[in-house]
Structure 1
Amino acid sequence: MDIVFAVTLIGFAGIGAQWLAWRLNLPAIVLMAIAGIILGPVMGVLKPEEILGDVYSPLISIAVGIILFEGGLQLRFDELREVGKGVRRLVVPGVFLAWIFGYLAAHKIAGLSAPTALLFSGIMVVTGPTVIMPLLRQAKLSSRPATLLRWEGIVNDPIGALLAVFVFEVLHLTDPAAGGLSPFQVTGSLLLGSVLSTVLGIVLGLFIARSFRNGWVPEFLKTPVLLSTVLVCFALANALQEEGGLLAVTAMGVTIANAKLPSINQLRQFKENIAVMFVSGVFVMLTANLTPEILFSLTWSDALYVIAMLFIVRPASVILSLIGTPITWKERLLIGWIAPRGIVAVAVSGLFAAKMVELGYMDGQKMVPLAFAMVFATVVAHGFTIGPLAKRMGLAHTGRPGVLIVGGSAWSAALGEKLRELDVPVLIADSSYRALRPARNRGLDTFYGEILSEVSDHHIEFGRYNTLLAVGPNESHNALVCTDLAHEMDRSRTFQLSSPKGVGEHRRAVSYALQGRPLLSKPLSLDELMQRHYNGWGFQLTRISDSYGPEEFLEAIGEESVIVMIERDGQLQFVSSDRPFQLKPGDRVLAYVPPSVLNRTKGDETPKEEKPDAIEKAKEEALDKVGESLD
């Protein structure tokens, strides 16, 4: 097969599996593994190692390095304020408990020789970010277990590779034929190499941070320079010590993530896009590279080994390592179950399998099928159970996806109350304590602070919300909020208030590329909405039916009214002036209508909202002035 066609097929299969998983709400890793197996062992169409030749292994190594660097960019030390003790315990002693228990399972159950079992169990301590990240994105876990699993997956990956390096170097260098070094000499050499690799990653991370902060690199070159530096870091560290590059690029990513760079979000998003492509392609390549002989070489003892790793080794190591931490028992049980293996486990197993055979340990060739068995079993088992199990244990967001409203006002509070009546979770955020008073008076959940600050990550579980409404008085700030949070919410579900002059191609408006979608069926600013609010306008929920059709409803509410939202088949669809909408029988329509229309429309489900009288309005204005001292 032509290399260009093979690369195209790999990319299409990987990204296609990701898209299909998104559409069907299934674990992406499972579909990528199935795609690779169908193209490789089943159909025999794709044989990556045979097609790519000598480029295959280096390409896998570089891809794993970039994936780990991107994972390091997600790790901020301020996340450890709540889970720092748990993360430290999962790394030490958690890794070493998993290593010991895994060795016993590999040696006693799978029947591997003691040296091979020791090396292989070192590799199996990893819970790679290549599979953890998609699972967390799918399951929408609560912040604490999600943070623990994310940190463990990224930190343990290089540690598992280094444990394998340590065992192999001890076996190799203590062999009289290789010079007969003592175990202490080998350990000292590996520790020195690990320290140098880590220091190299930190130094290059600090250099990149200073270069970007001081303007030594132009904006358009920042991403290429960063990617090139990652490759340099990976290659130099591997030259210092085998597989030291994994440790170095992880350290580099964590260093940059905590350097408080102004452009870190743009860099992080670009690197995540690259990582998604690499994860998709590499996982398809690894599974397509399997052969029927490898698949059929597995025995019942291997199946028992996999079962022991899932139900004994992982839970025991996690529960023992988290003794004395504030992590709840439900969280410990969930973390003890979730431990999918990924690309690093397979890649490192393939690397050392051949080397162990060269040293005379013939059972080393069994490492590759065992690694694939672990990867596939854990990916399928954990991928299909993490969501239902987390929801049953109360560690994931259940119910309807919520709406995050940025911008406190009487109008947004009234909208939030109406959404709450529909059993939709609502959070109203604002940096002004005074602006949140109407929401507090209605008993709505609020967040006092700047939504764009790092503090918001620790107080808002963004996984609960799938829609963003930026409805503050400043259209530029609304656009900035939509741009920054579009990655969390999906840009198609980020909306902002905009006056007619702020929508479209108006030359004085904020660029359309930075804005969210204009909220409401007609562009209106907050000032215009607040004026209508004090004139007695209100929200009205109406059900469209066969007897009360869309045309009759639109005629009844009049041209001045604006459509805010449509509930169709249990899903909320906020209306935007940039896209026409059509009403159908069965829809529930939320409209903002004048007092002359309130409670006049057939099928109305909303109690009449009283027009605020002059006294109440004066009270609100007086309290607003007093509240200014709180901001």
Structure 2
Amino acid sequence: MEIALIFTGALIFFSLIFNALFEKTRVPNVLFLLFVGLLIGPVFNLVSPEDLGRLGKIFTTITLIVILYESGTRLKFEGIGTAIGPASLLTIFNFLVPVAVGMAVGYFGLGLELLPSAFLGACVGSISTPIILPMLRQLKLGKKAENVVFLECALSDIVCLIGALALLDAMDSGSFSISDTIKHMAISLLFATSIGLAVGYFWTNIRRYVVTKLKNSMFTSFALAFMLYGFCELLGVNGGMAVLSFGFILGNINDLSDILEKRSSLGKDFIKRKNPMLLMEDERNFYSEIAFIFKTFFFVYIGMSIRLSESEHIVMGILFISLMFIVRIPSIALFCRKGYSPRDRRIMSILNPKGLVSAVLASMPLQLAVTEQEIRTGEVIQNIGYASVMFSIIIFSLLIFLVEKFDKKDNSDRTQNEGNLQS
């Protein structure tokens, strides 16, 4: 017990230090946390995800809810209209390309059938929300680029989950319908967003009475976010998108009022009559602190969960994820042309780490396997999927470091040249 308490405190303490050092070193504290998880998990076998049982799955879900809610409160109305198009195109492109690459690698390189090969690619079709969103503030992207990344994170999880699960069903049944999959995605996205916005608007109307009447009321919005996520998952729609929309409306109710005023005075009067309450600054800071704590333990858990057994699969995972990073470069150049600085495009081109969604999906075929052939296929997918997750985070961390160093040197050279011209 004493050792566990010391370890927990030291982990948070050093995570704070590495997070602060990011401003100078540009090395994300995510890499530090991942290696801590690897050391206490697969390397020294001090603890494993199985030791946590169902608690591990609950913890990862809570982490996702907390980060999505906190990120939603920081997403601003003003850039949504211009960001939704590029974000949607990036999401679809960066899902379909991994599926195509997975089919080629799996079928020709690993001897898998087409559907399992496509599923292998679909597993890495999303970008990790818990890795990217907490880092956006430190990366200091332009507002338009930041909004595109926000939306891409939210959309990619939905597309990846629905597309991969549809392929998994097809592996079991032997049939696959593209139209049914697209329809399911659209319904899940629209329904979840509508529920989140409606609940968020309702909550802004009564929050003033809760905050002023109750002590320790900051957790009430979190509690409602948890209930909203669970309710949407029970309905079969994406709970993460609902939570993001819920946080978004809480952080933007005043902006919504101003937008409606420009179009119709009745719209603003309708909102003002309800007397909604915008989030206060101390609430935003509190949510940010909670998200940081959960993120810290989440990445240690990811490191513990990585399982690498065969060197061939490790090499294949490295090659596979390297292709994903290479392919993302032309997608940013194609869909993000105007309104982005060269630095924005460079950073966006490397925002391709994989996380919990990819790891969970990669483990599912083996969990559902019955026959010897299914078990072999499941092991291949899981090993390559886990390797892709780990090395995507390592490659992402190294590229962030290199790009930031390049930008710093470029700015220094530009400043020096301007000084020489003036002199």
How does the TM-score come out when normalised to structure 1? 0.54
Inter-partner Cα distance in structure 1 for 2:360 and 2:240: 11
Residues 144 and 340, structure 2, Cα contact 8 Å, conserved in 1: no
Give yes or no for the alignment of 1:301 onto 2:344. Answer: no
Alignment partner, residue 194 of structure 1: 189
Residues 144 and 339, structure 2, Cα contact 8 Å, conserved in 1: no
Inter-partner Cα distance in structure 1 for 2:221 and 2:230: 14
Inter-partner Cα distance in structure 2 for 1:394 and 1:345: 37
Alignment partner, residue 298 of structure 2: 282
Alignment partner, residue 265 of structure 1: 281
Inter-partner Cα distance in structure 1 for 2:19 and 2:244: 28
Question: Cα gap change, 1:164/1:138 in structure 2, threshold over 3 Å: closer, same or farther?
Answer: closer
- The Cα offsets for residues 540-572 of structure 1, whole Å up to 9 and x where unpaired, read as xxxxxxxxxxxxxxxxxxxxxxxxxxxxxxxxx
How far apart are residue 368 of structure 1 and its match? 3.3
Inter-partner Cα distance in structure 2 for 1:285 and 1:108: 31
Question: Cα gap change, 1:174/1:119 in structure 2, threshold over 3 Å: closer, same or farther?
Answer: closer
Give yes or no for the alignment of 1:370 onto 2:387. Answer: yes
- The Cα offsets for residues 69-124 of structure 1, whole Å up to 9 and x where unpaired, read as 111111011245xxx53x23431211111122222333324646543454454453
Pick aligned residue for 2:88 from 86, 92, 108: 92
Alignment partner, residue 268 of structure 2: none
- The Cα offsets for residues 172-195 of structure 1, whole Å up to 9 and x where unpaired, read as 5557859x7965455444433332
How far apart are residue 379 of structure 1 and its match? 3.2
Inter-partner Cα distance in structure 2 for 1:190 and 1:240: 14
Question: Cα gap change, 1:175/1:101 in structure 2, threshold over 3 Å: closer, same or farther?
Answer: closer
How far apart are residue 315 of structure 1 and its match? 0.3
- The Cα offsets for residues 121-172 of structure 1, whole Å up to 9 and x where unpaired, read as 4453433343334544545x3x51xx34543443233422322332344345
Inter-partner Cα distance in structure 1 for 2:192 and 2:158: 11
Q: Which amino acid aligns with 1:162?
A: I
Inter-partner Cα distance in structure 2 for 1:300 and 1:249: 37
Instruction: Output aligned runs, 1:562-577, within 5 Å.
Output: none
Alignment partner, residue 47 of structure 2: 46
Question: Cα gap change, 1:71/1:7 in structure 2, threshold over 3 Å: closer, same or farther?
Answer: farther
Residues 27 and 134, structure 1, Cα contact 8 Å, conserved in 2: no
Inter-partner Cα distance in structure 1 for 2:66 and 2:245: 12
Inter-partner Cα distance in structure 1 for 2:71 and 2:120: 24
Which has the larger displacement, 88-97 or 59-68?
Answer: 88-97
Alignment partner, residue 455 of structure 1: none
Give yes or no for the alignment of 1:383 onto 2:400. Answer: yes
SS in 2 for 1:67: helix
Alignment partner, residue 200 of structure 2: 205
- The Cα offsets for residues 355-377 of structure 1, whole Å up to 9 and x where unpaired, read as 66469453432353233234333
- The Cα offsets for residues 427-482 of structure 1, whole Å up to 9 and x where unpaired, read as xxxxxxxxxxxxxxxxxxxxxxxxxxxxxxxxxxxxxxxxxxxxxxxxxxxxxxxx
Which protein has the larger Cα radius of gyration, Structure 1 or Structure 2? 1
Inter-partner Cα distance in structure 2 for 1:7 and 1:196: 43
Alignment partner, residue 34 of structure 1: 35
Give yes or no for the alignment of 1:310 onto 2:304. Answer: no
Residues 68 and 249, structure 1, Cα contact 8 Å, conserved in 2: yes
Alignment partner, residue 17 of structure 1: 15
Higher RCO, 1 or 2 (CA under 8 Å, sep at least 6)?
A: 2
Alignment partner, residue 321 of structure 1: 335
Residues 11 and 280, structure 1, Cα contact 8 Å, conserved in 2: no
Instruction: Output aligned runs, 1:152-167, within 5 Å.
Output: 152-167=148-163
Question: Cα gap change, 1:355/1:8 in structure 2, threshold over 3 Å: closer, same or farther?
Answer: farther
Question: Cα gap change, 1:229/1:126 in structure 2, threshold over 3 Å: closer, same or farther?
Answer: same
Question: Cα gap change, 1:371/1:357 in structure 2, threshold over 3 Å: closer, same or farther?
Answer: farther
How far apart are residue 249 of structure 1 and its match? 0.8
Alignment partner, residue 602 of structure 1: none
Q: Which amino acid aligns with 2:11?
A: A
How far apart are residue 331 of structure 1 and its match? 3.5
Residues 339 and 382, structure 1, Cα contact 8 Å, conserved in 2: no
Pick aligned residue for 1:349 from 344, 358, 361: 361
Alignment partner, residue 226 of structure 2: 231
Residues 197 and 245, structure 2, Cα contact 8 Å, conserved in 1: yes
- The Cα offsets for residues 303-324 of structure 1, whole Å up to 9 and x where unpaired, read as 222222222x11011111124x
Q: Which structure has greater strand proportion?
A: 1
Show structure 2 runs of 5+ residues with no match.
255-276
Q: Which structure has greater helix proportion?
A: 2
- The Cα offsets for residues 585-621 of structure 1, whole Å up to 9 and x where unpaired, read as xxxxxxxxxxxxxxxxxxxxxxxxxxxxxxxxxxxxx
SS in 2 for 1:222: coil
SS in 2 for 1:220: coil
How far apart are residue 238 of structure 1 and its match? 1.1
Inter-partner Cα distance in structure 2 for 1:274 and 1:42: 29
Question: Cα gap change, 1:381/1:298 in structure 2, threshold over 3 Å: closer, same or farther?
Answer: farther
Residues 129 and 150, structure 1, Cα contact 8 Å, conserved in 2: no
Q: Which amino acid aligns with 1:287?
A: G
How far apart are residue 239 of structure 1 and its match? 1.0
Identity of aligned residues (%): 15
Residues 102 and 309, structure 1, Cα contact 8 Å, conserved in 2: yes
Residues 90 and 152, structure 1, Cα contact 8 Å, conserved in 2: yes
Q: Which amino acid aligns with 1:382?
A: L
SS in 2 for 1:44: coil
Pick aligned residue for 1:107 from 89, 103, 110: 103
- The Cα offsets for residues 362-406 of structure 1, whole Å up to 9 and x where unpaired, read as 3432353233234333332233224213334559x999xxxxxxx
Residues 306 and 373, structure 1, Cα contact 8 Å, conserved in 2: no
Instruction: Output aligned runs, 1:216-615, within 5 Å.
Output: 218=213, 220-241=215-236, 244-260=238-254, 261-293=277-309, 296=311, 298-311=313-326, 313-323=327-337, 325-336=338-349, 338-350=350-362, 352-354=364-366, 357=369, 360=374, 362=378, 363-394=380-411
How far apart are residue 277 of structure 1 and its match? 0.5
SS in 2 for 1:252: helix
Q: Which amino acid aligns with 1:339?
A: L
Question: Cα gap change, 1:37/1:189 in structure 2, threshold over 3 Å: closer, same or farther?
Answer: closer
How does the TM-score come out when normalised to structure 2? 0.77
Residues 89 and 322, structure 1, Cα contact 8 Å, conserved in 2: no
Inter-partner Cα distance in structure 2 for 1:10 and 1:304: 35
Question: Cα gap change, 1:263/1:134 in structure 2, threshold over 3 Å: closer, same or farther?
Answer: closer
Aligned length in residues: 382
How far apart are residue 352 of structure 1 and its match? 3.9
Inter-partner Cα distance in structure 2 for 1:120 and 1:292: 16
SS in 2 for 1:298: helix
Question: Cα gap change, 1:304/1:239 in structure 2, threshold over 3 Å: closer, same or farther?
Answer: same
SS in 1 for 2:282: helix
